[in-house]
Amino acid sequence: MSGKTTRDHIVEEADQLFYQRGYEHTSFSDIAETMQISRGNFYYHFRTKDEILDAVLGYRLANTRAMLDRWEAEGGHPADRIRSFIHILITNRAKIMLYGCPVGSLCNELAKLDHGAQAQANEIFTLFRGWLRRQFALLGRKADADALAMHLLARSQGVATLANAFRDEGFIRREAEQMCNWLDAQCTGKRRTK
């Protein structure tokens, strides 16, 4: 159990259910039922699905932050770090083909529900955006670093959506390679080929 609390286990379980089935389709009872604990114990930790969502979003944000910190520490050159970002499409391809991107799909679902947690969910995108922006600035592209960050985020999101619809691993690999080539072109110091 590696020091994890019951609350941690509930959050991890809900995180997967929200991702795999969608937030709306996952009921409070669904989450409670997958846990091998008493109802009383479950309710002690969470009283509503919104409370669980709040905890899941905090969990995802913390995980994303830790991942970005790791890429930053491991990648000596900003371009290597950005390549780590591009490669999550390949690393997570099996789940992406089944369920799409966990960030994009949840943000879109919460927007349709006009849910109060939209801003919190979008923070994960903002985290990626700020991190990518910083890497592009370090590459000497300070003036358009934010536009480059948004461009790459969008390409990554689009690949996830179509990979999910067509279940096409070759497509993911091809697009990831093109993104890396695009990145190389940005590193040459020239204005980007639009």
- Using CB under 8 A as the criterion, which residues of the chain lie in contact with a second copy when the complex forms? 20-22, 24-25, 98-100, 104-105, 107-109, 111-113, 122, 125, 147, 150-151, 153-159, 161-162, 164-166, 171, 174-175, 177-178, 181-182, 185, 193-194
Nearest CB to a second copy, comparing residues 134 and 173: 173
Write down the least CB distance from residue 188 to a second copy, Å. Answer: 12
Give the angle subtended at the CA of 109 by the CAs of 49 and 26, to the nearest 5°: 35
Nearest CB to a second copy, comparing residues 6 and 92: 92
Nearest CB to a second copy, comparing residues 66 and 147: 147
Amino acid identity for residue 43 in this structure: Y
Nearest CB to a second copy, comparing residues 42 and 97: 97
How many other CB atoms are found less than 10 A from the CB of residue 37?
A: 13
Write down the least CB distance from residue 23 to a second copy, Å. Answer: 9
Write down the least CB distance from residue 22 to a second copy, Å. Answer: 4
Write down the least CB distance from residue 167 to a second copy, Å. Answer: 9
Of 135, 132, 106, 134, whose CA–CA distance to 121 is shortest?
106
Write down the least CB distance from residue 176 to a second copy, Å. Answer: 11
Cα gap 16→19, rounded to integer Å: 5
Nearest CB to a second copy, comparing residues 129 and 134: 129
Write down the least CB distance from residue 34 to a second copy, Å. Answer: 16
Nearest CB to a second copy, comparing residues 8 and 90: 90
Long-range contacts at 95-101 (CB < 8 A, ≥ 24 apart): 95/19, 96/160, 96/163, 96/164, 96/172, 97/163, 97/164, 97/167, 97/168, 97/169, 97/172, 98/20, 98/164, 99/19, 99/20, 99/164, 100/160, 100/161, 100/164, 101/156, 101/157, 101/160, 101/161
Two tokens, residue 63: 């995980």
